[in-house]
Amino acid sequence: MPLTHFDTKGDAHMVDVSDKEFTARVAVAEGHITMAQQTFDIIAQGKAKKGDVLSVARLAGIMGAKKTPELIPLCHPLPITKVAVELMLEPDLPGVRIEATVKTTGQTGVEMEALTAVSTAALTVYDMAKAVDKAMQIGGIRVVLKDGGKSGRYEA
């Protein structure tokens, strides 16, 4: 199957979705950020100097999903109907697990919006805690569910 974002000459282009049907679509993405135990404790106890890390990161993730077509050159602007970003403290990492769910009724999927939401939330956690831990690592960002449209359902 050829890559859809390239034309027959090999030039990048925005995929034409004008003939696709409007269908309900959902995508879920996940990722995590690992950190030193001290950093985890500061976030868990709500003692970060910049404020409530998880609440700010949740809002940043929602905003990131809404801004996806401004960040990813060939993404279609979509009428997003729902963005939910969950951040869970995970002592075993230690760190934060992030999950984003994005929904729309449209002609193309919202995988990129879900991935951008997770990425933006993780970057916000890093930004808010970097004063105490510059060695934090962001990873595991992937689509775990995509449903709707012609290609149907995908689950990791």
Residue from 52, 92, 127, 147 carrying the catalytic annotation: 127
Catalytic residue status for 147:
no
- Residue matched to tokens 């995509």: 146
Cβ atoms of 64 and 121 within 8 Å: the answer is: yes
Please give the C-alpha separations between residue 153 and each of 23, 123, 130, 146, in angstroms, as whole numbers.
Answer: 13, 29, 38, 6
| Angle CA 39–139–36, to nearest 5 | 15
**Which residue numbers are catalytic?**
127
